[in-house]
Structure 1
Amino acid sequence: MDDLIRRKIQTLLDQHRTMRIATLRPDGWPQVTTVGYANEGFTIYFLCGIDSQKAQNLSRDDRVSLAIDDDPAQVMEITGVSMAARARILTDPAEAEKAIGLLMARYPEQKATGLAVPKPSEVRLIALTPTVISLLDYSKGFGHTDLVAC
């Protein structure tokens, strides 16, 4: 992967906190939801309810697609990242604690409002590992993407 593209992807992942993620429902249709995330490099962590539709979908099929971007005033200023990734439910207690720590650091205002830090046993913690990344940069032309296999 080109170093400039790697840095642009990393910057986009680091500067955002929400993504749209598509999982596959039992009937085969994609289900898209917005979730908060934290990342360590290109690995993305998020949590969801233990019995949520996302958790159920991921227990059947670990393939996801996601998008992270802005909502600029001008179309030609669109930048973002979309990914095909594999999801892994975290079962190692140390990795689960690390993921929660990363998420709480990304959302420090949650602690300030008195929201309890979730316990790994109360939520489903997921790690996403990209297989293909598409870096969107419309400033290089309408719909321009740099496609990177991981």
Structure 2
Amino acid sequence: MADPPRTAKASVVRKDGSPHVVPVGVIMDGDDIIYTCQKDSVKGRSLQRDGRIAMLWDDERPPFSFVLVRGRATLSEDLDELRTWTARIGGRYHGRAREEEFSDRFTIPNGVVVRVKVEHIVAKVNLSETVNVKNP
């Protein structure tokens, strides 16, 4: 997750119970995972209703690895906080010189900061070397 920065696949539960999975740019704040979204997006509406979330980072190159996190999310509509986190996330993925550009672009009135409190982690490395798959 750390280097190079990878997007996470964030999974939330829709109102009808079906999953919704999308890539999101993230940054760590201590043990918390931070990303931003629009309050009225599927992610935003789902997390307001049910704060459960799962996030996955995977390395798709052999020998394959992944980190899966489950947790609970809270949302903040504070525009100063949104400005800070959009800048930091933009800088993480596009370079610190572009932080202000991303802050200006993504600090919008219906934007929210999503803070994920991690409750469970599963991590696996070298999957193609360690997993024994039997054909039926």
The CA RMSD measured in Å over matched residues stands at 2.6
Q: How far off is 1:107 after superposition?
A: 2.9
Task: Give the conservation status (yes or no) of the 8 Å contact 2:82–2:112.
Answer: no
Q: TM-score, normalised by structure 1?
A: 0.71
Q: 3-state SS of the aligned residue for 2:106?
A: coil
Q: Does 1:43 align with 2:32?
A: yes
With the length of structure 2 as denominator, give the TM-score of the two structures.
0.77
Q: Is the 8 A contact 1:80 1:137 kept in 2?
A: yes
How far residue 14 of structure 1 moved from its aligned partner, in angstroms, is 5.2
Q: Which amino acid aligns with 1:18?
A: T
Identity of paired residues, percent? 23
Instruction: Report Cα offsets for 1:106-144 as digits up to 9, x if no partner.
Output: 1335939x653422534122011110001111356118x
Please list every run of 5 or more consecutive structure 2 residues that lacks an aligned counterpart in the other structure. none
The 2-side partners of 1:33 and 1:48 are apart by 11
Is 2:18 aligned against 1:29?
yes
SS of 1:106's equivalent in the other structure is helix
- Counterpart for residue 98 of structure 2: 111
2:115 is the alignment partner of 1:127: yes
With over 3 angstroms needed to count, the CA separation of the structure-2 counterparts of 1:141 and 1:33, relative to structure 1, is: same
Question: Given the alignment of the two structures, is residue 56 of structure 1 paired with residue 45 of structure 2, yes or no?
Answer: yes
Using the alignment, how far apart are the partners of 1:14 and 1:133 within structure 2?
19
Q: Is the 8 A contact 2:53 2:73 kept in 1?
A: yes
Runs of 4+ in structure 1 over 6 Å off: none
Residue 68 of structure 2 is aligned with which of 82, 100, 105? 82
- Partners of 1:14 and 1:121 in 2: CA distance: 31
1:67 & 1:141 partners in 2: Cα distance?
Answer: 20
Residues 1:70 and 2:59 are matched in the alignment: yes
Shift of 1:95: 4.0
Give the Cα–Cα distance (whole angstroms) in 2 for the partners of residues 66 and 52 of structure 1.
Answer: 17
Partner SS, residue 82 of structure 1 = strand
Aligned residues: 128
Any gaps of 5 or more consecutive residues in structure 1? 1-11, 144-150
Within 2, Cα distance between the matches of 1:91 and 1:122? 8
Q: State the partner residue of 1:99.
A: 85
